[in-house]
Structure 1
Amino acid sequence: MIHSPKFIAVLDACVLYPAPIRDLLLNLAYFDLYTPKWTDKIHEEWTRNLLLNRPELSAEQLQKTVDAMNTAFPDSNVGNYESIIMAVTLPDSDDCHVLAAAIRSSSEVIVTANIKDFPNEYLSKFDVEAQHPDYFISNLVDLNPEKALKAFQQQVSNLKKPPMSKVQVLENLKKVGLEVTSEKLLELI
């Protein structure tokens, strides 16, 4: 369900939580392959969970990441979606804010690893589709392999602590569930 070369997608907390997926999604957006959207609540959710599971990280470090995301994509933080939350129904009511943000921002896609929590039959009423990050990103690679490769190369060059090779980054992407994406990017390098 891609209607234009640069469409709008809400990034669920579960795809912002793993740094390899987050970094690739942000680099793809930087290279104008799509427009990312999120909310303060989505940021709060992924950073809270990351702090719980990664005690070596600090709230300050993650806030810097959130601030950098909001600075790099100043129109990506969706507001005024709260009134829509009560009007939508999902299997997990805690996810209604994500759909509400998608509706408010006219997003075509919700990028999420929790596909079962976003039934496309229901989402289609709002012209929204849930897509797994591997499906979403591999489609972006197919749509514009040159820009997708540049985005991937940018992700690799941004990694300094520790630096990683392209193959190492591809292995990390595979480990976090981006198997098809990893294979497609490997074919391009």
Structure 2
Amino acid sequence: MAEFPVLLDSCVMFPMYLRDTLLRTAKAGLYLPFWSQEILNGAIRNLVSQGRMTLERASNLEGKIKEAFPEAMVEVPLGLAEVMSNHPGDRHVLAAAVIAKAEVIVTSNLKHFPAVALDPWNLKAQSPDDFLTDLFDEYPDEMVKVIQGQSQALNKPPLTVVELLDLLSKEVPNFASNILFYVYGDFVVQTAKKALSKIGMPAPEGGQFYEGERYRLWQKRKILTITAKDGRGDILRVQDKKIESNILCQDVKMFQTFAENLDQELAKTRNKP
């Protein structure tokens, strides 16, 4: 993997599942993470003040992060933060990025890092959603492995990949959606095609359709659509091998249940004398 230095702001180190995803992605070698002690202090302070962790647990977390990434800590010289022209509360973050020779600052506070303050240092700021989505675009299989590994490591509570992506979608919706379709898109398409071939009816507009409680499936030649009945409209459309998708975690869960029930009903039909 290419060496890609990135400065993580404290605000993206605070949400548990996002922090885990970012650090696992770094551990997979997709980028080089950096932070300062002041940045870590901000994340730990917020975890404790908002009741997410006790001081002891937060201190243990800080120790584990430092142990896992011994090269990530940068020391900001006195006076450097005062030279920066971005938001006063986050000048220490920009100063740390300069010392780290980072290319990107990953932050949820984009307004604190205007381009006019970053351009002189050849830096840009990205939201965690844009940052992870860019990495997925470049390393899709590796990012899927990161999410699968994260899911497998969770046991309090255990989370499937779909459940994990559902939680991540609150912080990084585009990234979660891309992973979701990459992993489950073909399953949803094939389930819809199977249902239409087995229980579909002639559609008024031509082709075959199936009208369910939550979705309408329709296929005509090389066009397939799945329409949600909750007001979202078409959540998946396949036409001439081009796929447009806006499926959510709830859709994958429903199609998993639908596929199981469909197989059971077909098995009953085959077993009838």
Query: TM-score, normalising length from structure 1?
Result: 0.92
Gaps of 5+ in 1: none
Evaluate the alpha carbon distance shift between residue 154 and residue 81 of structure 1 in structure 2; reply closer, same or farther with a 3 A threshold: farther
**Corresponding residue SS for 1:172:** helix
Indicate the SS of the match to 1:5.
coil
Q: Which of 114, 118, 133 is 1:119 aligned to?
A: 114
Give the secondary-structure state (helix, strand or coil) at the position aligned to 1:38: strand
Q: Which 4+ residue blocks in structure 1 deviate beyond 3 angstroms?
A: 80-83
Q: Deviations over 1:127-173 (max 9, x none)?
A: 11000000000000111111111111121112111111111110101
Deviation track 1:112-138 (CA, whole Å, cap 9, x = no partner) reads 011011002320110110000000000
Give the deviation of 1:6 after TM superposition: 2.9
Deviations 1:10-52 (A, max 9, x none): 1001100101110000010011000011111111111111211
2:5 counterpart letter in structure 1: I
| Structure holding more helix per residue | 1
Alignment correspondent of 1:95:
90
1:183 alignment counterpart = 177
Residue-pair matches, total: 183
CA drift of 1:89 comes to 1.6
Write the letter of the residue equivalent to 1:94.
G
User: Match for residue 159 of structure 1?
Assistant: 154
Aligned residue among 29, 34, 41 for 1:32: 29
TM-score normalized with structure 2 length: 0.65
Match of 1:129 among 105, 115, 124: 124
* Greater RCO (CA < 8 Å, at least 6 residues apart): 1
Letter in 1 for 2:40: H
RMSD of equivalent CA atoms? 1.3
Q: Counterpart of 1:75 in structure 2: which amino acid?
A: E
Counterpart-to-counterpart distance in 2, 1:80 and 1:113: 22
Structure number with bigger Rg = 2
Alpha-carbon contact 2:36-2:76 (below 8 Å) kept: no
Q: Which residue of 1 aligns with 2:143?
A: 148
Once residues 76 and 171 of structure 1 are traced to their aligned partners in structure 2, the CA distance between those partners, rounded to angstroms, is: 29
Give the Cα–Cα distance (whole angstroms) in 2 for the partners of residues 118 and 159 of structure 1: 34
Equivalent runs, 1:35-54 vs 2, <5 Å:
35-54=32-51
Instruction: Specify which structure has the higher proportion of strand.
Output: 2
**Identity percentage of aligned residues:** 33
Give the drift of 1:75.
0.3
Q: Which residue of 2 aligns with 1:73?
A: 69
- Give 1:84's match in structure 2, choosing from 60, 80, 83: 80
> In structure 2, the residue corresponding to 1:29 is in which secondary structure?
helix
Provide the rounded CA distance (Å) in 2 between the counterparts of 1:98 and 1:112: 10
- Where in structure 2 are there 5+ consecutive unaligned residues? 184-273
Moved more, 10-19 or 80-89: 80-89
